[in-house]
Chains A and B, each alone.
Chain A
């Protein structure tokens, strides 16, 4: 398709002067047309270039497309035509005070003052430090009632506020207000010394440490024209897959716990730990903090560790398969999973769901296959998706991915892995450049964007967690569902609060 947007490649830097700088109407019309034709929004954000505020969009068809434009003070909301822009427009409004007129649900994302001198779009008083201090969507009626939950929840989990509009046990709508974990990461990244960058990135979302640090490393490598060796690509791939297995395993355990089937809940919980301990074996940290740095990896997988990993996996693989079988072949589990929390393929496409949540609703997209990085070009990732769109599908996708990831790791461990380990060194980034990196984190499409100015200083570091797309999927899944099925649906998505809140 001919387009005014520029085709770019995942993880390849381009000069900012190459990015089409369009009049706003062209930018708007082209972006909307691409998305209406089935394209997806990877990024849409505002940034300050000197004193001018600009908008940039990275869209995804079977390739990545980019363009930029000057940001107007207000403009007719894209969301009214393409729902996918919903959260992105709210974020732009919050960060830069740009008003998307007619946005169907314009409210704050993370609850902080904007980065400009403009008045706050939402009329918030930030001296009151409660994001939940907001006029929630209301449903009126004699028997309609609201259930408010959080920010502090009953379990050892992250904070967020959930507001259910119910009639009896039935949920009309679930409104989710996040922002409690907002740490100001994107702004912090603009001012810190290079040495702090990997540490902050690793702490965006601890359960996605490896994927976030891989996105960051690829971006820095592209902006410094650094190559990584084959061994480090393999080790990053192994670490990414271990992260995927550990988290999916934990989720299956949580799902069995929520349907009160305790044996697999405990077995999955224990096996999750065994996979985290494999990451510990490689790098000394259970969540993979310290593995990936720009230029490669800090830890080798020598033969002793390789053999140890192989032997641990050979014990765990059959156990994993047996517990998965136990879970899915138990009628009481199936009765709770099946038909619960549907998000139709139509809705999932409209919302732009990614990762296992998208694949459970029939969307095949997987960065490992569509825009592969690291060692993934050499790995066969077949297109797959579940048709049933329910909790069962979201559990099934995870189970299948666990077994698939185990096979990937086994094949990568079959041969010796030679790599030159690196340590973090200082660097200078290419001036006036742009790079976008995408990786398939365990929750789905994770992406970082870095823009530099004429001196190679970072002027915008944009992080997009897959949860940024998927939280609305959870809201949709709850419609017309019993409120008692909320925990089950919530675990079936298991989205990131801190990755979203940044």
Chain B
């Protein structure tokens, strides 16, 4: 018992005060891209060709954050003249097309559906479906339950059954072998319900795009209400998305 108490004392209080106070992530973190649309065409072309995710439109000078894995290749190649990834982790959107960005995003809170806030603002129970990603998105969703993030203090929980849930959170590119399970789990959630796509895979097929074994984007199967980009999204990106989309 004494040992338990000593450990408790040593561990201290670790829970973040976000969103009340801002958090600054480390310098090398790559969040919302800052794009210079006046960059020379040649530089944009080189970046587009080198992008492993083919997420850059060299003519429109946009990045599709639903495809991007935030590897930072374009930032390095253009020596930040075309793209510079900022430390802004608040990158989620309510519409797929908003993820194709010139460097700015609409405020998420203003785009969320009002009835979602009314229904789920005080209590949101989510069922997670892991559908053939790499388990990175799952890992960084799981940490929301650790003391630093402590998601439950906002009335948001991940629950064991779709029958107990208000919505589903899907990660992964929905493999052929998981498609039925995803759809049946979705069916099992009572209406009204929300659908959240977490990570590049669930949004666009991610690194696995082109494989006949996967679905390129959850949206082709069911309507998605909230898109959280990243590979994986930082836990704070997830937290920001859930708080802004559902809490008033």
A→B interface (CB under 8 Å): 110-112, 129-131, 151-152, 154-159, 179-185, 187-188, 191-192, 195-196, 198-200, 202-207, 209, 263-264, 266-267, 269-270, 272-273, 276-277, 280-287, 289-290, 299, 318-319, 322-323, 325-326, 329-330, 423-424, 496-498, 501
- Choose among B143, B178, B181 the residue that contacts A273 (Cβ–Cβ < 8 A): B143
Residues on A with C-beta less than 8 A from B160 are: 154-155
- Please, which residues of chain B bring their CB within 8 A of the CB of A273? 143, 146, 148
Q: CB-CB < 8 A to B10: which residues of A?
A: 318-319, 322
B178 and A151 contact, CB distance less than 8 A: yes
- Asked if A281 and B28 make an inter-chain contact with CB atoms under 8 angstroms apart, the answer reads yes
Q: B69–A180 contact, CB under 8 A?
A: no
Q: What string of 1s and 0s marks CB contacts (under 8 Å) between B162-175 and chain A?
A: 10000000001101
The interface residues of chain B lying within 8 Å CB-to-CB of A184 are 208, 211-214
Query: B residues touching A (Cβ–Cβ < 8 Å)?
Result: 3-4, 6-8, 10-11, 14, 25-26, 28-30, 50-53, 69-73, 76-77, 128-143, 145-148, 158, 160-162, 172-173, 175-181, 185, 201, 206-208, 210-214, 231-232, 234
Contact across chains for B206 and A203 when beta carbons are under 8 A apart: yes
Q: Of B4, B26, B30, B173, which is within 8 A of A326 by CB? A: B4
A contact residues around B179 at 8 Å (CB): 129
| Most chain A CB inside 10 Å of its own CB: which residue of B73, B158, B178, B181 | B178
Q: Taking A156-B141, A270-B14 as contacts, is the C-beta distance between A498 and B211 under 8 angstroms?
A: no
Bound Cα distance from A204 to B161, whole angstroms: 27
- List, sorted by A's number, 28 A–B pairs whose CB atoms are closer than 8 Å: A112-B176, A112-B177, A112-B213, A129-B177, A151-B181, A157-B138, A180-B177, A180-B178, A181-B132, A183-B213, A184-B213, A195-B52, A199-B69, A200-B207, A206-B137, A207-B136, A269-B143, A272-B146, A276-B143, A280-B26, A280-B29, A281-B26, A287-B136, A289-B231, A319-B11, A323-B7, A423-B76, A498-B133
Summed over the interface, the residue pairs from A and B with CB atoms below 8 Å come to a total of 199
Interface pair B181/A159, CB less than 8 Å apart: yes
Q: How far is the CA of A112 from the CA of B177 in the complex (A)?
A: 9
Knowing A200-B207, A203-B136 are in contact, say whether A424-B146 is a contact too (CB < 8 A): no
* Extra pairs beyond A152-B162, A188-B211, A289-B69 (15, CB < 8 Å): A129-B179, A152-B185, A154-B160, A155-B160, A156-B128, A159-B181, A180-B177, A181-B133, A183-B208, A183-B213, A203-B208, A280-B26, A287-B139, A330-B3, A498-B135
Residue of A nearest to B14 (CB): A270
Contacts of A207 in B (CB 8 A): 135-136, 139
Which residues of A are found within 8 Å of B135, using beta-carbon distances? 158, 205-207, 496-498
In the bound complex, do residue A183 and residue B69 qualify as a contact, i.e. CB atoms below 8 Å apart? Answer: no
Interchain CA distance A209-B69 in the complex, whole Å: 14
Chain B residues lying within 8 Å of A277, measured Cβ to Cβ, are: 26
